Chain A
Amino acid sequence: MKKLKYALFTGCTAKQSTPEQMMSTLAVADKLGIELIELVEASCCGASHLQDYDDFLSLVLNARNIAYAEKHGLTMVTICNTCQLNTAMTKHRLDNNAELKTKVNEKLGEVGLEYKGTSAVTHFLYAIIDDFGLDKIKEMVVTPLSQFNIAPFYGCHNIRPSELQNETHKKPENAYRPTSLDDLIVACGGMTVDYEEKNKCCGFHVELQAPRTASILTGNAIAGAMDNNADWMVTPCPLCHLKLDTQTGHASEAIGREVSLPVLHMQQMLGLALGCSSEQLGLKHHITKVNFI
């Protein structure tokens, strides 16, 4: 197989509050022989909040990020669901609206850049499944996670809106019955846990303005996984991870019962199965202790 190579849009969280996600992304890419060119020029995607304030500015900034991936001639991979949404949504809107694309390019032209629409945008989870292949992952597993019940937590912005699924994932998955993360768990040798909240919202985006709503959603998600005998949870989104890992105190208070489970990034889960060390995967950076290694 030809060596896989992508332009990596890390997003801001992987460089700040979830350093373990950055570490495990690089460790897993190394194990799989995937080359990642980090887009060090990229700005924040706006996280769906800049979009509430200034739609055009957010389009220009995201188009600039994609333009750098295009310069490398590579598909852009994201490692955050919300980066994925805002980048893929920008691409979707510009590729389907020539007038808007021209307006955005007028601005990008001021700094010598152009958005062409030549680079695909996909999440690292989908790149692994679509391009690398789960069969090959299965062959490479050295530590099967067979003793664990693992609860997948998909995160809204990978699976919704589904119009973007068709453009970012070769095998589009249904938001009501997503399979990608379950399939990765199985490939790693683990048992998947089916529970109602697996494709629901974690509440991250209203953490500041509606803390009670956010905490109840987080609490319900962890409780759903616990009630279905999960040993731990896994997610492709660092924002979901922040909620599920660091906010268990507020979540427990909000729903009136103690909830807490170790939560791994999907890269960490894959890394464990591929034989990476807990140091390489940054497991010490979790608030809810990863107590099973």
Chain B
Amino acid sequence: MSTHTITTQKVNFKVFRFNADEDYLPYYDDYTMEVTSEEVVLDILNRIKWDHDGSFSYRRSCRHGICGACAIKVNGRSTLACKENMNKMIDIFGNDLVLEPLSIKRAVKDMIIDKKDFWEKHDAIHPYLISDVDEHPEHEHLVTPHEAEELNEADLCIQCGACHYACPVVEINEDFFGPAAFAKAYRFEADVRDDAHTTRLLELHEEKQGLWDCVKCFECAEVCPKDVNPIEKITKLHQMLFREGVATSNVATRHAVGFKHSIAKNGVLDEGGLVLYSEGLGIVKHVPVALKMFAKGKIVPPWGIVKSKNLDEIQKLVKSSSTAKF
């Protein structure tokens, strides 16, 4: 039988404090505590409240990674407080830890934020099954295991907001739906019982919400406490747009398709050709930078591109292995 030893170590915490009703600016309180290897981040929040300052505020409920209430940031990393072991945080960041709300600019009181934008975007993707339900069915509506697997665990999302407030695009573009809403949209798009496919996809394809504005940074996948992997779902939604024939021609879709054309022609990418194919007449806005790049030997003309050796293989594979049309 293995023996389990509990270890303790000293940790310095800098804790974000702010009361929107009273404070003009936020400030930080310092606490030094002996932290045991058994504790999770939520235990620390509890100890601050119970042992040091009863006015310290944060959301918590289930303590079992189900309700999604207690997500905060530890040294800038979105963290579900009840799930994350303190030892792991110390392993990554050392013994000086900063506890902050998921989004400082949305702070209401200490760790509590106003998640209004998160819920608005969540609502906007119609997060429910849309289907003409027969109220008196003669038999069960069976979903095969294979069909259920298509959800790719997107249904595990607990709406904690960890990915949403880790996403750099959410911070910049207030119309951007964000990784959680897109993953939720995928959850219903991939559900065989849902009949809204084209309508919902068309809404996601709209330019201002920006399914195509994802920067592919993988921050969302990294922080998700339930391994939902939102960026994988965003990629699958992109593929779905083409597969369902819903994708319309815009700079983003042409950018994706342009790679195939370039590869079929050269094996390698024709960088200039791709920008021209994607932008069309819009290429004029790139001319000033392109001229500078040309002067520095950074632009290869189409006739100067060194094609891949054995290009015939690549061309044959592009023909035989293509699964999408546009």
Q: Which residues of A contact B (CB under 8 A)?
A: 12-13, 15-19, 40-44, 46-57, 60-61, 64, 107-108, 110-111, 113, 156-157, 160-162, 174-177, 196, 200-201, 203-206, 208-210, 212-214, 216-217, 246-247, 249-250, 284-287
A16 x B317 contact (CB < 8 A): no
A110 x B217 contact (CB < 8 A): no
Pick the contact of B76 from A176, A201, A206 — CB < 8 Å?
Answer: A176
| Chain B min CB distance to A228 (Å) | 15
Whole-angstrom CA separation of A23 from B211 in the bound complex:
37
B289 x A47 contact (CB < 8 A): no
Pick the contact of A61 from B255, B258, B263, B299 — CB < 8 Å?
Answer: B263
A56 x B92 contact (CB < 8 A): no
Whole-angstrom CA separation of A196 from B213 in the bound complex:
22
Pick the contact of A213 from B213, B238, B269, B278 — CB < 8 Å?
Answer: B213
A110 x B260 contact (CB < 8 A): no
| Residues in B whose Cβ lies below 8 Å from that of A209 | 212-213, 250-252, 255
Beyond A17-B271, A42-B308, A285-B297, is A50–B317 a contact (Cβ under 8 Å)?
no
Please encode chain B, from 27 to 55, with 1 for each CB lying within 8 Å of some chain A CB and 0 for all others. Answer: 00000000000000000000000000000
Please encode chain B, from 286 to 324, with 1 for each CB lying within 8 Å of some chain A CB and 0 for all others. Answer: 001100110011111000011011100110111011111
| Chain B min CB distance to A241 (Å) | 11
Binds A, one of B131-139, B157-165, B167-175, B192-200: B167-175
Beyond A13-B271, A209-B252, is A54–B323 a contact (Cβ under 8 Å)?
yes
| Chain A min CB distance to B238 (Å) | 4
| Chain A min CB distance to B134 (Å) | 35
Binds A, one of B13-21, B56-64, B99-107, B218-226: B218-226
| Residues in B whose Cβ lies below 8 Å from that of A40 | 308-309
| Chain A min CB distance to B74 (Å) | 9
| Residues in B whose Cβ lies below 8 Å from that of A64 | 313-314, 317
B172 x A216 contact (CB < 8 A): yes
| Residues in B whose Cβ lies below 8 Å from that of A214 | 215
Q: Which 9 A-B pairs have the closest CB atoms?
A: A160-B218, A52-B238, A201-B217, A209-B252, A50-B259, A12-B269, A111-B313, A53-B256, A54-B324
| Residues in B whose Cβ lies below 8 Å from that of A160 | 217-219, 221-222
A51 x B217 contact (CB < 8 A): no
B271 x A16 contact (CB < 8 A): yes
A208 x B222 contact (CB < 8 A): no
| Residues in A whose Cβ lies below 8 Å from that of B238 | 52-53
| Residues in B whose Cβ lies below 8 Å from that of A162 | 222
| Additional A-B contacts beyond A52-B239, A55-B323, A156-B217 (17; CB < 8 A) | A12-B269, A16-B298, A41-B309, A43-B308, A52-B238, A53-B324, A57-B322, A107-B317, A107-B320, A110-B317, A176-B93, A177-B92, A200-B168, A201-B217, A205-B215, A210-B210, A210-B213
We find that the number of chain B residues with CB closer than 8 angstroms to chain A is: 68
Whole-angstrom CA separation of A203 from B171 in the bound complex:
13
Interface residues of B in 228-249 (CB under 8 A from A): 235, 238-239, 242
Whole-angstrom CA separation of A209 from B249 in the bound complex:
12
Q: Closest A-chain residue to B317, C-beta based? A: A60
A287 x B296 contact (CB < 8 A): yes
| Chain A min CB distance to B229 (Å) | 8
Beyond A53-B238, A287-B296, is A206–B215 a contact (Cβ under 8 Å)?
yes
B218 x A15 contact (CB < 8 A): no
B217 x A208 contact (CB < 8 A): no
- The majority secondary structure among interface residues of chain B is helix
| Residues in B whose Cβ lies below 8 Å from that of A61 | 263, 314, 317-318, 321
| Chain A min CB distance to B79 (Å) | 10
B314 x A56 contact (CB < 8 A): no
| Chain A min CB distance to B224 (Å) | 11
Whole-angstrom CA separation of A2 from B50 in the bound complex:
60
B259 x A53 contact (CB < 8 A): yes
| Residues in A whose Cβ lies below 8 Å from that of B11 | none
Whole-angstrom CA separation of A50 from B253 in the bound complex:
10
Q: Closest A-chain residue to B283, C-beta based? A: A208
| Chain A min CB distance to B213 (Å) | 4
| Residues in A whose Cβ lies below 8 Å from that of B251 | 208-209
Question: Is B326 interfacial (CB 8 A cutoff)?
Answer: yes
| Residues in A whose Cβ lies below 8 Å from that of B321 | 56-57, 60-61, 107
| Chain B min CB distance to A264 (Å) | 15
| Residues in A whose Cβ lies below 8 Å from that of B323 | 54-57
Q: Closest A-chain residue to B295, C-beta based? A: A287
Pick the contact of B313 from A113, A174, A217 — CB < 8 Å?
Answer: A113
24 contacts between A and B (CB under 8 A): A16-B269, A19-B297, A19-B298, A44-B263, A50-B256, A50-B259, A51-B235, A52-B238, A53-B242, A54-B324, A110-B320, A161-B218, A200-B217, A201-B215, A201-B217, A201-B219, A203-B215, A210-B173, A210-B215, A214-B215, A216-B172, A249-B288, A284-B296, A284-B297
Whole-angstrom CA separation of A216 from B173 in the bound complex:
10
| Residues in B whose Cβ lies below 8 Å from that of A13 | 271
A176 x B75 contact (CB < 8 A): yes
Question: Is B214 interfacial (CB 8 A cutoff)?
Answer: yes
